[in-house]
Amino acid sequence: MMRNWYDVAIIGGGITGASIARELSRYRLKIVLLEKEVELAFGVSKSNSGIIHPGTQNPPDSLKGKLCVRGNLLTRKIAGELGVDFKEVGELIVIFNEDERPRLLQIKNEAETLGVPGLKIVDRKWLDEHEPNLSREVIAALYAPTAGIISPYRMVYDLAENAVKNGVQIFLGHKVIGITKEAGNLRLNVAVSSGEEPRGRACRQAGSLAGSECTFRSRFVVNAAGLFADEVSALAGVNDFKIRPRKGEEFLLDKKKEHLTNHIIFPLPTKTSKGILVIKTSDGNPMIGPTAQEIDDKNDLSTSDDGLSKVIEGARKMIPTIDGNDIIAYFAGLRPVAGDDFIIRREEKVPGFINVAGIQSPGLTAAPAVALMAVELLKKSGLRLAKKWLFKKHRHPSVHLFADLFSKTRELIKKNPSYGEIVCRCEMVSAKEVRDAIRRGARTLDGIKFRTRAQAGRCHGGFCTIRIIKIMHEELGIPYTEITKRGNGSEVVRGVRE
């Protein structure tokens, strides 16, 4: 039983859970992270747009606003330590008429109250010079230079990998189905959906068999279960909040359009969302969206014709040259909304239980600050924090050929021939990168896509899917028929002649 006893158990392997895990791994603690999906970042985080917000568009007294501004600063440091590509591109909130100007000035004032640096109102002349594709209808904009972009899933994977290096245990395919108070502990009942043997550095699985249940005991439990945080909280007996999914449909454009804009472009925000944006992404493909639609089903990731036309209309209002024919991919994500602000608190009713819920936008940006706050709450609840002698804060960065200069590519290939074995031609991803992704924890086609971009380009996997399946077969030693897109039930090959 001692094997499954921990100081802190984190429920949920998205950006919030992974950030908390890594922050806690600085201390001499026994930590476990439980994720119900077959890979990390497969919930809310996988559909994030990757914007590191400067802190604008938040009420000045809000928790999310304060954590966002702080998170923006911290993200740069962490991205540097982990070798995740962060680009400060800046954002523009644009207005189309003088009636909108007072609201824009209000946003500027509120953001300055929160401490957002470098804000200025820019006029048409500035815009002509710095954002030439912007609609002629735009009369002015609020420029926030500290906005940035990052790959949301790579951030999760790399945080988790670093946390594991510092001693955190991660169990995938482990869904918490019961939380019980015991003397000095919380007991977690866990349903296991994935029976893989422990393997790989980043993500180990319990040696338990699929379909079975197991028990974990922990003095403290942090609920970072995203869309399902209300259900997990209710398991512990705290059911005073509800997560309402708010769907956002996003559309990705061909990488050819990488230089469509120089900044992230926002309209004035509405009551429920920041509006339809034109986003730069760290992978180069511009993204347009998202929609904002309240729905009931936490599994509904469908896109709609209506969403597409709304997004194109909204995006073209700001950048008129956007063409529907440049769309190469689309998806929907769900924001886990619990009222207007984040819920980050100790639950007095259940000593040792911490809720980190309702982490909607700007959750990716705020994550490092959310993690610090969670650690503070754990400390207040009695967790002793003793720093490790050696916290390994750095991570050997992943190689992405597409992001490198040809001179660097040449050197890489010389050192390791399989960098010269191209798997995905649209995004220029080599066999070596795919193998590395698997060795670092990828178990599914989507997991490889999120880590390497293979299958994410304009041909959408038409060329590389077979090559990737063969590499997975070799590296993981599993039959073709068990290779999945995103976990059990999503097998891609139904039969093999042999």
Instruction: Return the amino acid letter for 470.
Output: K
Q: Which residues contact 130 (CB under 8 A, 6 or more apart)?
A: 122, 262, 263
| Chosen residue from 106, 212, 304, 321 binding another protein by CB under 8 A | 304
Q: What three-state secondary structure class fits 296?
A: coil
Q: How many residues bind another protein (CB under 8 A)?
A: 55
Which of 344, 354, 349, 342 minimizes the C-alpha distance to 383? Answer: 354
Question: How far is Cα 304 from Cα 331, in angstroms, rounded to an integer?
Answer: 10
Q: Closer to another protein at the Cβ: 90 or 487?
A: 487
The two three-digit tokens of residue 376, written as one number: 């503070």
Q: Does 258 bind another protein (CB under 8 A)?
A: no
Report the site for another protein in 312-341 (rule: CB under 8 A): 323-325, 327-331
Interface mask (CB under 8 A) for another protein, residues 373-412, using x and -? --------------------------------xxx-xx--
Q: Tell me the closest approach of the beta carbon of residue 49 to another protein, in angstroms.
A: 17
| Chosen residue from 214, 372, 422, 476 binding another protein by CB under 8 A | 422
Question: How far is Cα 436 from Cα 64, in angstroms, rounded to an integer?
Answer: 36
| Chosen residue from 256, 349, 380, 392 binding another protein by CB under 8 A | 256
Q: At what angle do helices 363-380 and 15-24 cross, to 10 degrees?
A: 40
Angle at the Cα of 42 (from 37 to 43), degrees rounded to 5? 95
Q: Closer to another protein at the Cβ: 30 or 470?
A: 470
Question: How far is Cα 483 from Cα 494, in angstroms, rounded to an integer?
Answer: 10
Q: Closer to another protein at the Cβ: 77 or 256?
A: 256
Report the site for another protein in 429-468 (rule: CB under 8 A): 445, 458-463, 465-466
Catalytic residue among 53, 174, 263, 400: 53
Q: Which residues pair with 189 in a beta bridge?
A: 178, 215
Q: Closer to another protein at the Cβ: 372 or 459?
A: 459
In our burial notation (b when 16+ CB lie closer than 10 A, e otherwise), range 291-323 reads bbbeeeebeeeebeeebbebbbebbbbbbeebe
Which of 266, 312, 276 minimizes the C-alpha distance to 89? Answer: 266
Q: Closer to another protein at the Cβ: 10 or 428?
A: 428
How many other β-carbons are positioned within 10 Å of the β-carbon of residue 462?
A: 11
Q: Closer to another protein at the Cβ: 9 or 276?
A: 276
Active site residue 263: no
- Considering only the stretches 17-25, 136-144, 178-186, 414-422, report the one whose residues sit in contact with another protein under the rule CB under 8 A: 414-422
Q: Tell me the closest approach of the beta carbon of residue 237 to another protein, in angstroms.
A: 30
- Considering only the stretches 65-73, 150-158, 270-278, 413-421, report the one whose residues sit in contact with another protein under the rule CB under 8 A: 413-421
Is the Cβ–Cβ distance between 164 and 201 less than 8 Å?
A: yes
Angle at the Cα of 227 (from 225 to 228), degrees rounded to 5? 55
- Which alpha helices (H) appear in 347-405, and where do they start and end? 363-380
Instruction: Return the amino acid letter for 330.
Output: Y
Q: Closer to another protein at the Cβ: 92 or 276?
A: 276
| Chosen residue from 301, 372, 476, 478 binding another protein by CB under 8 A | 301
Which positions are catalytic? 53
Q: Which residues bind another protein (CB under 8 A)?
A: 256, 299, 301-305, 308, 323-325, 327-331, 405-407, 409-410, 413-414, 417-418, 420-422, 425, 428, 445, 458-463, 465-466, 480, 484-498
